[in-house]
């Protein structure tokens, strides 16, 4: 019997005033996969992420995570669900007035009743897991490079040992070497901990390097879901332009790939 999806979205309708972003969107995410969410500007990639994690309220539709409704549930169930996923927003979205350690500890303070020394120890472990030096623990976001801020944001996203990690444009703004290293980090942690990764991205190299499947948002819906090979056979104009354009050819030539032993 096929395992039930870890995330199940049906008939999602999202609007902002008169602007319709999603209209009858359906999506299944499988446990343990890295799924890349792509689409043109304004197709609602980040909106979909924010809606699944409960930060935005859709006009209609159902969203289930771990078999539980995200929309129609009580506060205790919502709190329990949020302990089982982590979110990394664009550019890390760190609290500017907190150090890296304090940022990583923030979900622990909110969700867990732990003594301060244990929180600090766990935060140090997460910081090392994402490849940051120990010295970064006491630094503030403004003192970090863009790549380091993203890694700190990733450390905060995995602070509670989640089963799902939502990543919003994690390689945006990074140089090719830094982006490849971040792809490799995602693949390493997914493989080590069996994470399900919901990856909003525009980065063709990330799709090639680490994604098991790709979901294309177009025409207010999920137009198609499949592997990279399946994407290349779709006739839709945007899909053709995206997956067969100059940037796609550059990605295919391997101008930026994660090293083989680090890729998922």
222 domain-assigned:
yes
Q: Which residues contact 73 (CB under 8 A, 6 or more apart)?
A: 81
Provide the pairing of β-strand 60-65 with 68-69. antiparallel
Q: pLDDT tens digits, residue range 71-100? A: 878 888 888 899 999 999 986 689 999 999
Q: How confident is the model at residue 118 (pLDDT cuts 50, 70, 90)?
A: very high
Q: Which of 99, 106, 104 is nearest to 138 (CA)?
A: 99
Q: How confident is the model at residue 255 (pLDDT cuts 50, 70, 90)?
A: very low
Q: Chain-wide mean pLDDT for the chain?
A: 90
66 domain-assigned:
no
Domain boundaries, position 103: 31-43+74-256
Give the mean model confidence (pLDDT) for residues 34-56. 94
Are residues 74 and 11 in contact, defined by beta-carbon separation less than 8 angstroms?
Answer: no
Q: Identify the pLDDT of residue 79.
A: 87
Q: How many CA atoms within 13 Å lie on the side-chain side of 227?
A: 3
178 domain-assigned:
yes
Give the mean model confidence (pLDDT) for residues 44-60. 95
Q: Identify the pLDDT of residue 76.
A: 87
185 domain-assigned:
yes
19 domain-assigned:
no
186 domain-assigned:
yes
pLDDT above 90 covers a percentage of the chain that reads 75
58 domain-assigned:
no
67 domain-assigned:
no
Query: 0.85 exceeded by the pTM?
Result: yes
Q: How confident is the model at residue 65 (pLDDT cuts 50, 70, 90)?
A: very high
Q: Is the pLDDT of residue 257 over 50?
A: no
CATH number, residue 125: 3.40.50.300
Q: pLDDT tens digits, residue range 105-117? A: 999 998 888 999 9
Q: Identify the pLDDT of residue 264.
A: 41
Q: Which residues contact 74 (CB under 8 A, 6 or more apart)?
A: none
Q: Is the pLDDT of residue 2 over 60?
A: yes
With tokens 């990394």, the residue in question is 88
* Count of domains forming the chain: 1
């Amino acid at each position: 019997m096929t395992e039930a999806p870890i995330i199940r979205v049906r008939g999602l309708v999202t609007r902002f005033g008169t602007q319709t972003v999603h209209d009858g969107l359906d999506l299944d995410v499988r446990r343990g996969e890295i799924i890349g969410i792509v689409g043109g500007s304004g197709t609602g990639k980040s909106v979909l992420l924010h809606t699944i994690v409960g930060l935005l309220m859709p006009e209609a539709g159902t969203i289930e995570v771990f078999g539980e409704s995200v929309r129609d549930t009580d506060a205790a169930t919502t709190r329990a669900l949020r302990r089982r996923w982590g979110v990394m927003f664009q550019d890390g979205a760190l609290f500017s007035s907190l150090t890296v350690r304090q940022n990583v500890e923030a979900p622990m303070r909110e969700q867990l009743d732990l003594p301060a020394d244990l929180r600090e120890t766990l935060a140090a472990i997460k910081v090392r897991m994402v490849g940051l030096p120990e010295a970064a623990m006491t630094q503030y976001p403004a003192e970090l490079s863009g790549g380091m801020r993203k890694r700190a944001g990733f450390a905060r996203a995995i602070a509670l040992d989640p089963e799902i990690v939502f990543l919003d444009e994690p390689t945006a703004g990074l140089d090719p070497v830094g982006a490849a290293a971040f792809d490799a980090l995602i693949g390493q942690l997914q493989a080590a901990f069996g994470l399900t990764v919901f990856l909003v991205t525009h980065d063709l190299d990330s799709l090639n390097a680490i994604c098991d499947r790709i979901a294309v948002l177009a025409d207010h819906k999920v137009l198609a879901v499949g592997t990279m090979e399946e994407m290349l056979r779709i006739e839709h104009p945007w899909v053709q332009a995206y997956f067969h354009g100059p940037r796609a050819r550059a990605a295919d030539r391997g101008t930026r790939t994660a090293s083989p032993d680090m890729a998922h």
